[in-house]
Amino acid sequence: MNALSCSPIDECAIKPARLGYLASKNAAANGGGIAWIDIAQNEKVTYADLFRRMQIAVKCLRSKNLKPGQVVCVVLTRSGYFLPLLIGCIELGLILAPIEEDKNEVKTAI
């Protein structure tokens, strides 16, 4: 049965590619290419680095037995680890709530 003749309609819906899948395809095609430059860490982050970090984030998040829809609150600096963590959260259906490390009022509340 092809996409034009399937039924019901929701079986025909085209689902967007997952971010993790797209990251893996991009890493395979452009692995050594620079995804961004992390000025704070003086580091050039490649697409392969991004994908590897995303896999580490997903593995870590899964180990915490979090369920889709739960909020993940993290205190972090602006670094090359934010985007992989964000992609990992999206992949697992989690909501990322980042808090800047240098916010004194947040530090006091925590």
Q: How confident is the model over 31-80, as pLDDT tens digits?
A: 888 888 888 778 888 889 989 999 999 999 999 999 999 999 888 776 77
Q: What's the pTM value of the predicted model, to 2 decimals? A: 0.69
How many C-beta neighbours within 10 Å does residue 80 have?
A: 19
Distance between CA atoms of residues 17 and 71, nearest Å: 23
- Which residues 6+ apart lie within 8 Å of 87 measured at CB? 19, 20, 23, 54, 57
pLDDT tens column, 81-107: 888 898 899 889 999 988 876 666 665
Beta bridge partners of residue 37, listed in sequence order: 44
Give residue 34's Cα distance to chain centre. 17
Tell me, what's the pLDDT at 107? 57
Is pLDDT of 1 > 70?
Answer: no
Is pLDDT of 2 > 90?
Answer: no
Give φ, ψ of 96 to 5 degrees. Answer: -90, 130
